[in-house]
Structure 1
Amino acid sequence: MSRIDDSKEFIPVRIAVLTVSDTRDLSADRSGDTLVGRIEGAGHRVADRKIIRDERAEIADQLRAWVANKEVDVIISTGGTGLTGRDVTVEAHRDVYEKEIEAFATVFTIVSMNKIGTSAVQSRATGGVAGGTYLFALPGSPGACKDAWDEILSFQLDYRHRPCNFVEIFPRLDEHLRRK
């Protein structure tokens, strides 16, 4: 069973938050606010925050810019993961991923099933890795952001979490780029 090992020191992570929306601005970005509050509340740092329209190329360009920024360890986007024609965040994320974390979507679906039942099938939450950076795409509702953070990311982004976590393998995420 998972647990927090209090004998280990907490390591703060630098997280960029991207809201994907054609209609929101910072004053109406409840999902982004939910993520920022939880990130900071956990002791991590918000490295950057932006809102971008539902445009695949623009989303992918922003993700790539943050992946290239050594001051960003993790990117969490919210919005654009549904089934409508304008929902292109998942495709933009996959344009950037070197590796997809398939189990993230599975675990998110399990968490969502416990909260919203079969409506969970309408989410296409995803996670991946690129350039030594973790990327996660969450639905655009504050509840989904809360659930993903509270039930998955708060643990996996905590170095003290056992039996394993994302933070402890940061140094190895880009080892293939260092090989000659």
Structure 2
Amino acid sequence: MRIAVLTVSDTRAEADDRSGDTLVQRLGDAGHVLAARAIVRDDRGAIAAQLRAWVADPEVDVVISTGGTGLTGRDVTVEAHRDVYEKEIDAFGTVFTMVSMQKIGTSAVQSRATGGVAGGTYLFALPGSTGACKDAWDEILGYQLDYRHMPCNFVEIFPRLDEHRRRK
């Protein structure tokens, strides 16, 4: 899969983007291709614009963002993702919470991790912590983005994500 990594932060630069680095390393180790990488400030419109640009890019199959999924006033990544989604993958947030509960207990309720689909592209919003990015990749995305994972995975249905747009 060709995966774009988006870091949402007012303070990070590529030199100190540990969560973005973690995702890039893990996707590469799994045999995926880094299609693009960017850092965008905590601004709903700017985040949504970057997501839409990558959804429109035929060289991007998956977008994973990190940061801005919390509860503070500046945390608008989830809202930006939902502005772009055609369909939300409701269970992604639920499964992420289950994974997080094993690591951080009830503090998991503070995350609003989400996933969805738009324009035949998968989009996932992860918390900004390196640990959360590791957990999401190691326990969910690493499996779902592997065509060998059974009984089912995101890769096998990828060609059908935009079938409603094709001519009949």
Instruction: Pick the TM interval, shorter chain.
Output: over 0.9
Structure 1 Cα separation of the partners of residues 144 and 76 of structure 2: 26
Aligned-partner Cα distance in 1 for 2:61–2:79? 21
Aligned to 2:164: 176
Normalising by structure 1, we get a TM-score of 0.93
The partner residue of 1:83 within 49, 71, 74 is 71
Residue 67, structure 1, aligned to residue 33, structure 2:
no
**Number of equivalences:** 168
Say whether residues 1:32 and 2:20 are aligned partners.
yes
Percent identity, please. 82
- TM-aligned CA deviation for residue 171 of structure 1: 1.0
Q: Which residue of 142, 146, 161 corresponds with 2:149?
A: 161
Q: Distance in 2 between matches of 1:142 and 1:72?
A: 23
Aligned to 1:106: 94
| 1:58 Cα deviation from its structure 2 partner | 0.3
Q: Is 1:127 paired with 2:115?
A: yes
Which amino acid in the other structure matches residue 102 of structure 1? D
Structure 1 residue 179: Cα displacement: 4.1
- Tell me the equivalent position of 2:42: 54
**Cα separation, 2, equivalents of 1:55 and 1:135:** 17
> Once the two structures are superposed, what CA deviation does each residue of 1:37-88 show, in whole Å capped at 9, x if it has no partner?
0000111000000000000000000000000000000000000000000000
Provide the rounded CA distance (Å) in 2 between the counterparts of 1:34 and 1:45.
14
Distance 1:111 1:179 in 2: 40
Inter-partner Cα distance in structure 2 for 1:167 and 1:179:
22
Distance 2:159 2:67 in 1: 29
Unaligned residue ranges in structure 2 (runs of 5+) = none
Q: 2:10 aligns with which of 22, 26, 37?
A: 22
RMSD: 0.6
Distance 1:156 1:170 in 2: 11
| Structure 1 unmatched ranges of 5 or more | 1-12
**Aligned residue in 2 for 1:137:** 125
State the shift of 1:24 in Å.
Answer: 0.3
Distance 2:21 2:158 in 1: 26
After TM superposition, which residue ranges in structure 1, 4 or more long, deviate above 3 angstroms? none
Q: Which has the higher contact order (CA 8 A, sep 6+)?
A: 1
SS at match of 1:22: coil
Q: TM-score, normalised by structure 2?
A: 0.99
